[in-house]
Amino acid sequence: GIQVEQSPPDLILQEGANSTLRCNFSDSVNNLQWFHQNPWGQLINLFYIPSGTKQNGRLSATTVATERYSLLYISSSQTTDSGVYFCAVAPVGSARQLTFGSGTQLTVLP
Protein backbone atom coordinates (compact mmCIF):
# COMPACT_ATOMS: atom_id res chain seq x y z
CA GLY A 1 0.00 0.00 0.00
CA ILE A 2 0.90 3.66 -0.17
CA GLN A 3 3.53 4.91 2.29
CA VAL A 4 3.29 8.29 4.03
CA GLU A 5 6.24 9.80 5.83
CA GLN A 6 6.08 12.97 7.87
CA SER A 7 8.94 15.07 9.15
CA PRO A 8 10.06 16.17 11.60
CA PRO A 9 8.48 13.80 14.13
CA ASP A 10 8.78 16.40 16.88
CA LEU A 11 9.09 20.16 16.78
CA ILE A 12 9.40 22.65 19.63
CA LEU A 13 8.97 26.34 18.87
CA GLN A 14 8.86 29.59 20.69
CA GLU A 15 5.63 31.54 20.27
CA GLY A 16 5.84 33.75 17.18
CA ALA A 17 8.18 31.48 15.22
CA ASN A 18 7.44 30.02 11.80
CA SER A 19 7.62 26.35 10.86
CA THR A 20 7.37 24.00 7.90
CA LEU A 21 6.07 20.44 8.15
CA ARG A 22 6.66 17.97 5.37
CA CYS A 23 4.72 14.98 4.05
CA ASN A 24 6.19 12.59 1.49
CA PHE A 25 4.07 9.92 -0.16
CA SER A 26 5.03 6.97 -2.30
CA ASP A 27 2.35 6.94 -5.01
CA SER A 28 0.12 9.25 -7.02
CA VAL A 29 -2.78 10.56 -4.98
CA ASN A 30 -6.08 12.23 -5.66
CA ASN A 31 -6.84 13.01 -2.05
CA LEU A 32 -4.49 14.66 0.42
CA GLN A 33 -5.60 16.29 3.64
CA TRP A 34 -3.83 17.93 6.58
CA PHE A 35 -5.34 17.54 10.03
CA HIS A 36 -4.56 19.01 13.43
CA GLN A 37 -5.22 16.85 16.48
CA ASN A 38 -5.36 19.15 19.46
CA PRO A 39 -4.33 18.15 23.00
CA TRP A 40 -7.95 17.16 23.72
CA GLY A 41 -7.87 14.64 20.89
CA GLN A 42 -10.14 16.46 18.47
CA LEU A 43 -9.20 16.04 14.81
CA ILE A 44 -9.55 19.27 12.85
CA ASN A 45 -9.50 19.33 9.07
CA LEU A 46 -7.04 22.01 7.96
CA PHE A 47 -6.75 21.56 4.21
CA TYR A 48 -7.99 19.34 1.42
CA ILE A 49 -5.12 19.80 -1.01
CA PRO A 50 -4.31 17.02 -3.52
CA SER A 51 -2.43 19.64 -5.56
CA GLY A 52 -1.67 23.35 -5.59
CA THR A 53 -1.50 25.91 -2.82
CA LYS A 54 -4.06 27.08 -0.29
CA GLN A 55 -3.98 29.56 2.56
CA ASN A 56 -6.14 29.99 5.62
CA GLY A 57 -5.01 32.73 7.97
CA ARG A 58 -1.61 31.88 9.44
CA LEU A 59 -1.64 28.44 7.82
CA SER A 60 -0.88 27.57 4.25
CA ALA A 61 -0.19 24.36 2.38
CA THR A 62 1.40 23.37 -0.90
CA THR A 63 1.24 20.00 -2.61
CA VAL A 64 3.54 19.17 -5.51
CA ALA A 65 1.80 16.06 -6.78
CA THR A 66 4.37 15.28 -9.47
CA GLU A 67 7.12 15.14 -6.84
CA ARG A 68 4.92 13.42 -4.25
CA TYR A 69 5.21 15.77 -1.33
CA SER A 70 3.20 18.34 0.56
CA LEU A 71 4.24 21.11 2.91
CA LEU A 72 2.30 22.75 5.71
CA TYR A 73 3.46 26.21 6.77
CA ILE A 74 2.60 27.70 10.13
CA SER A 75 3.49 31.36 10.58
CA SER A 76 3.60 33.38 13.81
CA SER A 77 2.87 30.26 15.83
CA GLN A 78 0.67 30.43 18.92
CA THR A 79 0.41 28.10 21.90
CA THR A 80 -2.97 26.96 20.59
CA ASP A 81 -1.18 25.53 17.54
CA SER A 82 0.28 22.81 19.75
CA GLY A 83 -0.76 19.26 18.99
CA VAL A 84 -0.14 16.63 16.35
CA TYR A 85 -0.32 17.43 12.66
CA PHE A 86 -1.27 14.56 10.39
CA CYS A 87 -1.02 14.23 6.66
CA ALA A 88 -3.40 11.70 5.09
CA VAL A 89 -3.60 10.52 1.50
CA ALA A 90 -5.59 8.24 -0.75
CA PRO A 91 -3.97 6.86 -3.93
CA VAL A 92 -5.38 7.29 -7.40
CA GLY A 93 -7.97 4.60 -8.06
CA SER A 94 -8.74 4.13 -4.39
CA ALA A 95 -10.11 7.42 -3.17
CA ARG A 96 -11.94 5.99 -0.22
CA GLN A 97 -9.62 5.07 2.57
CA LEU A 98 -7.11 7.59 3.81
CA THR A 99 -3.68 6.42 4.89
CA PHE A 100 -2.30 8.58 7.67
CA GLY A 101 1.28 9.48 8.36
CA SER A 102 2.66 9.11 11.85
CA GLY A 103 2.32 12.82 12.49
CA THR A 104 4.44 15.75 13.66
CA GLN A 105 4.14 16.57 17.35
CA LEU A 106 4.31 20.38 17.62
CA THR A 107 4.84 22.13 20.92
CA VAL A 108 4.67 25.93 20.99
CA LEU A 109 6.13 27.47 24.13
CA PRO A 110 4.89 30.82 25.52
Residues that bind other proteins (CB under 8 A): 31, 33, 35, 41-45, 48, 86, 88, 90, 94-103
Instruction: Give the nearer residue to other proteins in terms of CB position, either 31 or 63.
Output: 31
Nearest approach in angstroms of CB 30 to other proteins is 8
CB of 60 to other proteins, least distance (A): 18
18 or 55, CB closer to other proteins? 55
The contacts of residue 97 (CB under 8 Å, 6+ apart) are 90
- Contact between 63 and 52 (Cβ < 8 Å): yes
Characterize the bridge pairing of strands 104-109 and 10-14. parallel
State which residue, 26 or 75, has the beta carbon closest to other proteins. 26
Half-sphere CA count of 41, side-chain side, radius 13 A: 0
Residue 63 contacts residue 32 (beta carbons within 8 Å): yes
Q: Name the residue nearer to other proteins (CB basis): 20 or 102.
A: 102
Q: DSSP secondary-structure letter at 66?
A: G
Q: Please state the closest distance from residue 92 (CB atom) to other proteins, in A.
A: 11
